Structure 1
Amino acid sequence: MNLNAPAFSVFQHDGLDLAYFDEGDPSGEPVLLIHGFASSATVNWVHPGWLKTLGDAGYRVIAIDNRGHGASGKPKDAEAYRPWVMAEDAIALLDHLRIPEASLFGYSMGARISVFAALAHPDRVRSLVLGGLGIGMTDGVGDWDPIADALLAPSLDDVSHARGRMFRAFADQTKSDKVALAACIRGSRDLVSRSDMGKIDAPTLIGVGTKDDIAGSAQELAALMPNARALDIPGRDHMLAVGDKVFKQAVLEFYAGLGRQ
Structure 2
Amino acid sequence: MNLNTPAFSSFEHDGLNLSYFDEGNPEGPPVLLIHGFASTASVNWVYPGWLKTLGEAGYRVIAMDNRGHGASDKPHDSEAYRPWIMAADSIALLDHLGIQQANLIGYSMGARISVFATLKWPDRVRSLVLGGLGIGMTDGVGDWDPIADALLAPSIDGVTHARGRMFRAFAEQTKSDRQALAACIRGSRDLVERADMAKIEAPTLVAVGTKDDIAGSPQELAALMPDARALDIPGRDHMLAVGDKVFKAAVLDFYADLADR
TM-score band by shorter chain is over 0.9
Q: Residue deviations 1:177-204, cap 9 Å, x none?
A: 0000000000000000000000001000
Kindly report which structure 2 residues correspond to 1:36-47, keeping only aligned pairs within 5 A, or say none. Answer: 36-47=36-47
**Separation in 1 of the partners of 2:94 and 2:139?**
30
Amino acid paired to 1:129: V
The residue type equivalent to 1:221 in the other structure is L
In structure 2, what is the equivalent of residue 147 of structure 1? 147
| In the alignment, structure 1 residue 246 sits paired with structure 2 residue 236 | no
Q: What is the 5 A alignment of 1:148-163?
A: 148-163=148-163
Aligned to 1:178: 178
Deviation at 1:4, TM superposition (A): 2.2
| CA-CA distance at 1:30 after TM superposition | 0.0
C-alpha distance in structure 2 between counterparts of 1:103 and 1:60, whole Å: 10
Q: How much has 1:158 moved relative to structure 2?
A: 1.1
Q: Residue 75 of structure 1 aligns with which residue?
A: 75
Contact 2:83 2:116 in 1 (8 A): yes
1:18 aligned counterpart, secondary structure: strand
* Conservation of the 8 A alpha-carbon contact between 2:10 and 2:18: yes
In the other structure, the counterpart of 1:133 is 133
State whether residues 4 and 52 of structure 2, in contact with CA within 8 Å, keep that contact through their aligned partners in structure 1: no
TM-score after normalising by structure 1:
1.00
The answer to whether the 8 Å contact 2:3/2:55 transfers is no
* CA–CA separation in structure 1 for the residues paired with 2:253 and 2:230: 13
User: By how many angstroms is 1:2 displaced?
Assistant: 1.9
Aligned Cα root-mean-square deviation (Å): 0.4
Equivalent residue letter for 2:77: D
Aligned to 1:87: 87
Superposition pairs of residues 9-48 of structure 1, within 5 angstroms? 9-48=9-48
Asked whether the 8 Å contact 2:3–2:24 carries over to 1, the reply is no
| Runs of 5+ consecutive residues of structure 1 not aligned to the other structure | none
Q: Distance in 1 between matches of 2:129 and 2:22?
A: 19
Equivalent AA in structure 1 for residue 22 of structure 2: D
CA offsets, 1:159-194, max 9 Å, x none? 000000000000000000000000000000000000
**Partner amino acid, structure 2, of 1:226:** P
Equivalent residue, structure 2, for 1:121: 121
Percentage identity across aligned positions? Answer: 82
For 2:256 and 2:108, the matched residues in 1 are separated by 23
SS of the residue corresponding to residue 32 of structure 1 reads strand
Q: Which residue identity does 1:167 align to in structure 2? A: F
